[in-house]
Structure 1
Amino acid sequence: MSRPIRLAINGYGRIGRCVLRALYESPLKDRFQIVAINEPADLATMAYLSQFDSTHGVFPGKVEQGADCLVVNGKDIRVSHARTPEEVDWRSLGIDILLECSGQYGARDEIQRFIDAGCPRVLVSQPGRSAQDVDFTVVFGINHEGLSGGESIVSNASCTTNAIVPVLSALDDAYGIDHAFLTTLHSVMNDQPLLDGYHHADLRRTRSAMQSIVPVATGLAQGVERLLPQLAGKVQAKAIRVPILNVSAIDLMVKLGRDIAAPELNALLMESTNRYPGLLAYSNNPHASVDFNHNPHSAIIDGSQTRTNGDGFANLFVWFDNEWGFANRMLDVAGVWSERFQGLLPARREGYS
């Protein structure tokens, strides 16, 4: 049996903590070992928020504070509190993949700082600022087979891209897409204040997150076109933050290549769940967003909301847990990536726990 892949996490906020927790709930848990976390916050708070989470509940295990480490189910994870990549001796940790979850690094020269500091590979929890800023952008289930193992910087795209690209791919393959308009209804994020304040250059994001529906900018259209280049120039998108803690939705308006009735369209979407097992789900139940909290799928199509209106026009509604689904996709991508490069890994060196 090959040795576990050694992971480190940089940035232990919402996604970083979900990645750690998802691993302990994942069938991939024996394939990976999280050996280090870098997070500026203090260790006591890190331990507390790992054990207790307002969105996902109590950790199904035990998290304790050790001496410069988190102790998760009896295993030590080394913790550092650096604010720059260069302050951490990544090389001495012997890691295989760094999961960059801070959201602070999007340009190649910024991400390269981790490589220069001793990380052999970086999986980024956001899109590169341009396609050239990363070696490969992955939406698991769509193009993960394109990973060669020779990449040093890979992007896991965004939660919204992971949610909508499988749906658009299925529709385009079956009917062709002439145009698509995406409206994301996204739960609040940490770049919004609880009360009005000086938090952001975008004036809308200076307003209270829990008191208003807030339109924000989005790069979703560009993200879709990177993964589905045949749709270049055909996709537009906007995003609206809504005052809930978690779970988001995409309202998709699409003009297909031919007319189709809603029952036929839903039949195709239901069948597509077999094409993307574990990633795409379908339901006709009368849902509210809370039903999908802690749901590991990339997207759940709400068939009860499907509408068609002649001339190829259709309206679909897609739910997704923007934290938990995305964290699970990071682990999926790390798993495939490690399969590609694992034959090149050196044997375990002495001194690594």
Structure 2
Amino acid sequence: TLAWGGSWGINSYVIKCTKDINHSQIARPASLGPYDIPGFNLFNLKGRRKEMEQKYGPEKTKVLAKYVGTGAITKAIATEIVETLWGEAPPIEKTKAILLCQTYQLNPLMKHLYLVGYKRRDRDGNYIEDGQGNLVLDWSMQIGIGATRLMAQRKHNYSYLDLTPRKATKEEIDTILGDTADPNSIYGFVHLKDVDTGAEAFGLRGIGKNERIKGEEKGNTHLNMACVRAERLALDRQYPGEMPQGVEVVDERFIDTTYKVVDETGGEGISPLIGGEKSGETAGEEESGVESGETVSSPPKKTPKPEKIGASAAEVAEGEGFSINLDWLRESQKTLKWTDDTVLTFIIGQYKVSGTSVTGALQKLTREQAEDFTRQINNRIEKQKPLF
């Protein structure tokens, strides 16, 4: 600080920032954690190796220890890490994780990225097994909030204002959401400012108070998850196009780093995908026995063709007696400037369903909820029209 502007009152001075005399707030600068500093781990290799053995076991540690303090993440390095940690994951999921690690220079060994396998259940709640008796899994790629900050801080210098992240005040919720706020949700608020450009961005995200969250038994809270989602939203708005899209953001402090198979909620839960059905198929097709070569005397059961909600198109998210046009939804998101994260949180908070993807959550709506969802989206678009 610097005394600026001469005397102020009697025997006193005005103290102002040396970089910008117009600063009127105290901002907390964003800073990298020790695990994000290249080469940091080289100073404590024994400690890091012991920590890895506790997480991954001695065999995987032998393979992966050399990559803990590595600099650039090449495709070859990312491939070996992903194959060692999640070799049982489907090839497409491993490929996506490898490309994400290489493109954004993320290291799973430094708590940047996770692949988690969720046990798939059928409509009766029973786990689904394949022909060999193995559990059928749906895989989800997740990025830690620390990695999200790291990606932003590599290129930008920004600060947190107004003591954020924190719980949103009633005034902030009313200003941003108005009468659309869910009284059964808790909202997190984040206010960011780019130090170099002066640009500011806000993030407000909610989560249902009764929604089960991952890591709750380890101390994770609904407010913490709301703040994590709010921070990701603020970073998306502050630096659009720089963050990977369609990937769930989590608090890595509460992620099970042993990478074992878990239920969606961290305990008893339902998979994001509905077991036993594929998009575009009727419920009776799988029971017909045609795929397995069996002959059945009774004709396959038929269900009424779901009615499409939204404009007609080939790509849809189907539920019980309805289907939502995903092309319509994507165009609506562009108009509203909503990310997939925004839509997912809205669906979960509004209709009290679970899911780690927009499509998965939509599939769990009732027909009445689906109609209400499309109506609310269209109403928001109508309200925005006078602004254009």
- The structure with the largest strand share of the pair is 1
TM (norm. structure 2) is 0.24
Q: Which is higher, the Rg of structure 1 or of structure 2?
A: 2
- The structure with the largest helix share of the pair is 2
TM (norm. structure 1) is 0.25
